[in-house]
Amino acid sequence: MRKISPARNSRPFDYAQPGDRLHCGKVSIAALARRHGTPLYVYSGDQIVERLGMFENAFRGRNHLVCYAVKANSALAILKLLAGRGAGFDIVSGGELERVLASAPEAVGRVVFSGVGKTAAEIDRALETGILQFNVESEAELELLAARARRMKRRARFALRVNPDVFAETHPYISTGLREHKFGIDIRRAPEIYRRTARSKWLEAHGISLHIGSQIRSAQPFGAAVERVSRLARQLAGEGIALKTIDAGGGLGIDYHSRAFDAAEHVREYAAAIEKALGGFEGRLLLEPGRFLVAQAGALVAGVLHVKSNGKKTFVVVDAAMNDLIRPALYQAHHEIVPVRRRSGRARAVDVVGPVCETGDFFARDRKLAPLEPGDLVALLDAGAYGMAQSSNYNSRPRAAEVLVESGKARLIRRRETMADLLAVEST
């Protein structure tokens, strides 16, 4: 694989020439905004494929399957793009399963179904379609899975999602690997559950699963967690329960600040930690990256509506809002904000805010930005994950359009919602 410069594998959004306007690859962001309006999500399909290739290269010596975490960005076009390159999918709802079926039905055998609250109807649909495995999060869920499998006369492959009790330094809302979290089964309970299900006619102990959280920048916690489950897998193999898969989950983080993030090296470090922890496990390794594949491939483009001052504070009011990208309000997350057309002049500290009637509707506070004027465009970078996926219609705002850029060409993959769309499901 050709060498990728740190700038290239960090973000696909850049200025084509000094003083020029922002582009995604060879496509002008300003031209996309004129054609499709704002707010507008723009994604680089080329970078998504490149990031997938980083995982394939790093794990090429191991029998593995990359199962993209659909919750990060569930756009049908992105799912189809990844499925066409051999990826599987990690889903957490029946709705996400339907998205895989709609975009890439041939990939359903590469689907793992995670999540703490699967319903009987969701389990039935997954059994019917023939997914790869259920990542089971409780003994009660395992009993439900057995009952539904018996009713449908289909043997269900499952992996217990064990809680390895490994601390990963990340935001508390997206940390999932400790005993006090709602996810998974205590790893100390797992051997007895596997022994009990070995006698089941309708359950097949197919693997073991873990997920310790999201936006984790160090490889060490992944290695520690995988080492614990691989040790359990070896113990079970000694008892005659040979598991076919270890699902290492997702959670590999990105750098939302730096423009020189070496993504390929980050994946290599992650792979080395996991490979070392697997020891002699000879089964299939499942991986569930989401954010790492799509976050930096996406940007939210917004138009500047007003620039106003309240005393010493200056506010740049844009036409995107917390309903379009909630991460800053929800997690106090940082997103770099850049002008689509750069103006000369001294940078000043401003708050970048949206029009929603909430003080929490902001994208940046006291951020030093170059001069902006009404009618200008800005791009909020690294918005490809948990942007559109978490968007809403708060304040009765239609959701944004989405554009995918591949090989120098852009296409609309989701039209902008209209008020007719919002009102169609209601009655007076």
Kindly name the residue from 140, 357, 420, 424 that is annotated as catalytic: 357
Q: How far apart are CA 157 and CA 48, in angstroms?
A: 30
24 is catalytic: no
- What Å distances lie between residue 338 and 14, 29, 69, 294, CA to CA? 10, 12, 28, 19
Q: Cα 244 vs. chain centroid, distance in angstroms? A: 25
Q: What is the maximum span of the chain, computed from C-alpha positions, in angstroms?
A: 73
User: 139-152 vs 120-129: helix axis angle to the nearest 10?
Assistant: 50
Sequence-ordered list of residues with C-beta below 8 angstroms from that of 228, at least 6 positions apart, any chain:
164, 166, 187
Q: How far apart are CA 30 and CA 32, in angstroms?
A: 5
Q: How far apart are CA 410 and CA 418, in angstroms?
A: 22
Written in H, E and C, the secondary structure of 92-127 is: CCHHHHHHHHHHCHHHHHHEEECCCCCCHHHHHHHH
* Structure tokens, 110: 């590469």
Whether 390 and 329 have beta carbons less than 8 Å apart is answered as no
Q: How far apart are CA 367 and CA 379, in angstroms?
A: 14
- Pair type for strands 377-381 and 298-310: antiparallel
- CA dihedral 378→382→388→393, nearest 10 degrees, is -50
Q: How far apart are CA 250 and CA 182, in angstroms?
A: 17
Indicate which residues carry an active-site annotation: 357
